[in-house]
Chain A
Amino acid sequence: MNTATQTYSGKAAPEDRLSPSEREERAMAEFAHHFGAYTATNLESCIHCGMCADACHYYIATEDPKYTPILKAEPFKQAYRRESGAFAPFFKLFGLKKKVTTEQLEEWQELLFDSCSQCGRCSLICPMGIEVAEMIEIGRRGMAAAGLAPKPLMDRAKHQAETGQPEESDRPYSEVLQDIARDHDLNVALDKDKADILLCLPRTDLEQNPESVAAMIKIFNKLGVSYTFRSDALIAENYGYYAGSRGLQKRITKRITDAAKKLGAKLVIVPECGHAYTALRWQAAEILGEELPFRVRHVTEFLAEQLEAGKLKLSKVNGESFAFHDPCQLVRKGGIMDAPRQLMDAMGVNLLEMHNKKGFSFCCGGGGGVNDLDSARELRSRAQQLKLREIDDTGAKRFLTSCSDCRVSFNEAGEHYDWNKKTESLIELVATQIKE
């Protein structure tokens, strides 16, 4: 547990010079922000049955009890009991609940960031109905406030809030987008002043999967809708969300929401990226404290709507068998159960379902920023092995998903385990099968 701590503490954080007591105060203030009836009910309900471990891919892969999900929420739970619970004055008076210390927070860094992808499977198994994943998310927020979020996530979050890009790149991503369009003989709508739809892209696709970017352009051109990409709001991922920083998440969110408002957009399309969907679809309005004047849809949702309306026509694939990975943030936490299957059905995909599918799907192992942490590589690999085995068990020849972050994870796992499948994008398949 100390390895990660040693990697991250001190120089990891932007507020390096904070004293331990300042870190503790900041963490407590952030925790206190989340003390409400809903959260309190979750924290009060735990019966210590340990079942959440049986849903967690990190625990199942390692059988190490420190990965028990509810244990990851311990600092937050402890803070609640001491500061806000029914018997808080009693606990404080007799010293029965200790203050959350910097040492404790540092010890929890690995548990909150490296070994939780916020997939939410633990919330489904809990017999009490505790939203364990949300408790862990609040734990992350406390860590970020205390300046103890992992450096790779915090640096990218700050950079993205400042510039719109999580990292320096040789060229601005808007130029990369134009090059991809040019390479594929496509016209791309970029930086229009008015449009009905604002499109965003995963930076991983811009960097690693240009075919996916081209697929998005091709599909939206073909549909003939009024859309645009915006240079100032191009990247869908929200590293503020990964890092647990409310402030940075808000600034990054505002880049997109402000651009959409300025455009007069009626719709913002989240590309194949699960956490971007959570950040925009379910958290943007909450973190900004206002209802959004536009709808937010995942690209598969939007295309399924177009399919139903008869505006999207797809030809059939050649009958090969496919397995499909349901990205956690889209399916289990986001409710997009049917849209990908509607699209696959329209393309005549011979879908061989995994044992754990839809809401029960295992995480790819790398969501929630885990892909970005070198310190999590070994644990990630072990969790990925579970998933690869399940995919192979379907007997499918090809493998699809609808999240670029999941693709990054599967590609890494594929290389590590010399896997015989390539992870393909559902949107790329749609673009291939779209009728001219």
Chain B
Amino acid sequence: MTLLEFSRGTMLHIALIVFVFGVLWRLVTTFMLGWRKRKSEWRTSAGQSAVKGAIAVGNRSWPHPEFLNRTAFGEAVGYGYHIGLFAIVLLGAPHVVFWKNLFGINASWWPTIPSGIISVVSVVTIFLLLIATIRRYMPPPLRRISNFDDWFTLVILFTLMITGVMAVFGIGGRYELILAAHIIAFNVLLIWFPFSKLMHAFYILPARFFIGYTHAKKGAST
């Protein structure tokens, strides 16, 4: 078995199992901690509050204008690399083939972005990730609250992005070896995911909903 076969065979399967069960475990253990029935007299009904909670899930994506003068740069960088990563992972032609093979689907409707554009997006995304990394070290609050979780996640993302670009441009050694490194980095990301802050991809929905819901019940700002 070659390294490439291992990375997209056995290791990928193990990584997927860890990812799926890990994510489920973390979510289930969180929600099984139970809910306290609140007894105050609310301003807003549960139904209307739930609607406001759902709105908050979307609304929180856009920062309140009152804060923008202090947060605009960080928000722009964050948005930039998230959009870049999503575009590459979901719309890059090699990745679309990977997903189709993985899930065993034909999905001829699945669009792809031309490889030239994806290459540009990849380089821009690496640049934005670099800025995000520097930012994690520069503003004192960010430096103070950063921990192993943040740095290790960044290391994985950089490895993933750089090996991907190397594979596309055919630089840095044998293609099979670079591709294997790229897939191994992806597998590590999958394994690391449930244990890390990457879980925010899932928690973002309930967290935003809860604050929208509870604040709406009080008529407070959301």
A→B interface (CB under 8 Å): 35-42, 44-51, 53-55, 59-60, 63-66, 68, 70-71, 84-87, 123-131, 281-286, 289-292, 295-296, 331-337, 355-356, 358-360
Which residues on B are within 8 Å of A, measured CB to CB? 25-26, 29-36, 38-41, 43, 56, 60-61, 63-64, 66-67, 70-71, 74-75, 78, 139-147, 149-150, 195, 197, 199-200, 203-204, 206-212, 214-215, 218-222
B220 touches A70 (CB 8 A): no
Q: Is the CB of B199 within 8 A of A84?
A: no
Decide if the interface of chain B is mainly helix, strand, loop or mixed: helix
Nearest first, the 5 closest Cβ-Cβ pairs linking A and B are A335-B219, A359-B221, A129-B208, A65-B140, A53-B141
Task: Please give, as numbers and ranges, the residues of chain B lying within 8 Å of A41 by CB-CB distance.
Answer: 30-31, 203, 206-207, 210
Tell me the smallest distance from the CB of B144 to a CB of chain A, in Å.
4
With contacts A48-B197, A87-B195 taken as known, whether A35 is within 8 angstroms of B33 at the C-beta atoms is: yes
Chain B residues near A130: list those with CB within 8 A.
207, 211
Question: CA separation between A296 and B40, bound complex, in Å?
Answer: 10
Known pairs A41-B210, A49-B78; list 9 more (Cβ under 8 Å): A60-B70, A70-B145, A123-B211, A129-B208, A129-B212, A281-B40, A285-B40, A296-B41, A360-B66
Interface-central residue, A41, A64, A289, by most chain B CB under 10 Å: A41
Partner of B39, one of A71, A127, A285, A355: A285
A253 CB to closest chain B CB (Å) equals 12
B41 to A50, Cβ gap below 8 A?
no
The answer to whether A54 touches B144 (Cβ under 8 A) is no
Q: B210 contacts which of A129, A282, A283, A336 (Cβ < 8 Å)? A: A129
What would be 25 A-B contacts, judged by CB atoms less than 8 Å apart? A36-B33, A36-B34, A36-B36, A41-B30, A44-B26, A47-B197, A48-B150, A49-B78, A51-B67, A54-B67, A59-B141, A63-B140, A66-B144, A85-B29, A86-B29, A129-B212, A131-B211, A282-B218, A286-B39, A289-B39, A291-B41, A292-B40, A334-B220, A355-B66, A360-B64
Residues in A neighbouring B210, C-beta threshold 8 A: 38, 41-42, 129, 131
- Report the minimal beta-carbon distance from B134 to chain A, rounded to whole angstroms: 14
Contacting pair A46 B35 (CB below 8 A): no
User: Could you tell me if B144 and A68 are in contact, using CB atoms closer than 8 angstroms?
Assistant: yes
Chain B residues, CB < 8 A from A66: 144
Q: A50 and B219: CB pair below 8 A?
A: no
Contact, CB under 8 Å: B211 / A129: yes
Q: A49-B74, A129-B210 are in contact. Are A333 and B218 (CB under 8 A)?
A: yes
Determine how close the nearest CB of chain B comes to the CB of A172; give it in whole angstroms: 31
Interchain nearest-CB distance for B211 vs A (Å): 4
CB distance from B49 to the nearest CB of A (A): 12
A65–B218 touching, CB < 8 Å? no
Q: Decide if A86 touches B64 in the complex (CB within 8 Å).
A: no
Residues on A with beta carbons closer than 8 Å to the beta carbon of B211 = 123, 126, 129-131
The answer to whether A335 touches B43, judged by C-beta atoms less than 8 angstroms apart, is yes
CA distance A50 to B140 in the complex (A): 9
A281 → B minimal CB distance (Å): 7
B41 touches A129 (CB 8 A): no
CA distance A86 to B28 in the complex (A): 8
A50 and B141 contact, Cβ closer than 8 Å, known pairs A292-B41, A355-B66: yes
**Quick check: B221 and A358 within 8 Å, CB to CB?**
yes
Q: Which of A85, A282, A285, A336 has the most CB of B within 10 A?
A: A282
CA distance A332 to B66 in the complex (A): 14
Q: Which chain B residues border A54 with CB–CB below 8 Å?
A: 67, 70-71
Assess whether A290 is in contact with B56, with CB atoms less than 8 Å apart.
Answer: no
Q: How far is the CB of A138 from chain B (nearest CB, A)?
A: 13
**Contacting residues, chain A, for B144 (C-beta < 8 A):** 50, 65-66, 68, 71
Q: Which of A38, A65, A335 contacts B141 (CB 8 A)?
A: A65
Q: Which residues from chain B contact A286 at a C-beta distance below 8 Å?
A: 36, 38-40
For B41, B143, B147, B195, the residue with the greatest tally of chain A CB atoms inside 10 Å of its CB is: B41
> Is A285 a contact partner of B208 (Cβ separation < 8 A)?
no
Give the residues in chain B near A129, CB-CB below 8 Å. Answer: 56, 60, 204, 207-212
Give complex CA distance A36, B148 in Å: 26
- Chain B CB within 10 A, most for which of A38, A286, A336: A38
A336 to B218, CA, bound (A): 9
Partner of A45, one of B35, B38, B207, B215: B207
Q: What is the CA–CA distance of A85 and B25 in the complex, to the nearest angstrom? A: 10
Task: Determine whether the beta carbon of A44 is less than 8 Å from that of B203.
Answer: yes
User: Separation in Å of the A278 CB from the closest CB of chain B?
Assistant: 10
Q: Check A44–B60 contact: CB distance below 8 A.
A: no
